[in-house]
């Protein structure tokens, strides 16, 4: 049976009904956009304890907070392979689940293939966010941003990483494997993962981006 997806739309619909908590099953996938929107709207997300079954007598179901352990999809072409391999254990050390979508060597390959794999996983909600690495980072961002709902940002320093999350709610970050070293990459990744979307005045701008996207999806 497919796992239930808790998306940003789920949170919005809950808020519109005047409810303050989204209840979901223990194995449900909660997207990063849903977490950000829930924080903005003051809506809680709580998982039902699968070991507790509601009784007919009206006993309340036991609930527990959503785990903060997110799933991060990561991929690269040959130019980003080395940096990808170094970042994977770092992501695990920060407490994230990591799904490596390739490439698996430094043999020449095509970056759009791996950009698509990561972006598609994020779009479907199978991963909350994604990281794509090629030689410079720009090309993978171009490819990933062709996928509906993806906001890929090429980050080259801590400021761009923070801004892309806080202002633009980026759900994919691209990096240049031949442009930045491992220590800077770790710092950029950590800040990007730990920065929340600010909402507020930024939301109307994101809505306009979505409107542009919808015009060309018809």
Does residue 203 sit within a domain? no
Which range marks the domain in which residue 16 is found? 5-50+58-65
Residue 218 lies in a domain: no
Which of 65, 90, 110 terminates a domain? The answer is 65
**Catalytic machinery residues:** 167
Residue 208, CA distances (Å) to 197, 211, 213, 215 in order: 16, 5, 9, 11
More confident residue, 217 or 63: 217
Q: How confident is the model at residue 65, as a pLDDT?
A: 43
**CATH number of the domain that 161 lies in?**
3.40.1400.10
78 and 166: one domain?
Answer: yes
Tell me if the pTM is above 0.75. no
Please identify, among 14, 32, 65, the residue that sits at the C-terminal boundary of a domain. 65
Considering the domain boundaries, does residue 174 fall inside one?
yes
Q: How many domains does the chain have?
A: 2
Residue 91 located in a structural domain: yes
Shared domain for 38 and 86, answered yes or no, is no
pLDDT digits (tens, 9 = 90+) for 73-92: 999 999 999 999 999 999 99
86 occurs within a structural domain: yes
């Amino acid at each position: 049976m497919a796992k239930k997806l808790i998306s940003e739309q789920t949170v919005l619909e809950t808020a519109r009904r005047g409810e303050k908590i989204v209840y979901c099953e223990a194995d449900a996938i909660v997207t990063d956009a849903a977490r950000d929107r829930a924080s903005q709207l003051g809506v809680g997300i709580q998982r039902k304890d699968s070991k507790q079954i509601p009784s007919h007598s009206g006993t309340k179901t036991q609930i527990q907070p959503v785990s903060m352990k997110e799933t991060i999809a990561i991929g690269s072409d040959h130019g980003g392979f080395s940096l990808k391999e170094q970042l994977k254990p770092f992501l695990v050390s920060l407490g994230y689940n990591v799904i490596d979508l390739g490439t698996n060597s430094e043999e020449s390959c095509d970056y759009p293939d791996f950009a698509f794999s990561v972006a598609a996983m994020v779009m479907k909600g199978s991963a909350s966010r994604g990281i794509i690495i090629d030689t410079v980072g720009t090309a993978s961002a171009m490819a990933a941003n062709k996928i509906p709902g993806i906001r890929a940002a090429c980050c080259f320093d801590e400021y761009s990483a923070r801004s892309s999350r806080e202002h633009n709610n980026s759900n994919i970050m691209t990096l240049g494997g031949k442009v930045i070293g491992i220590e800077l990459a770790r710092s950029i990744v950590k800040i990007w993962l730990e920065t929340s979307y600010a909402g507020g005045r930024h939301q109307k701008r994101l809505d306009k981006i979505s409107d542009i996207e919808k015009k060309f999806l018809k």
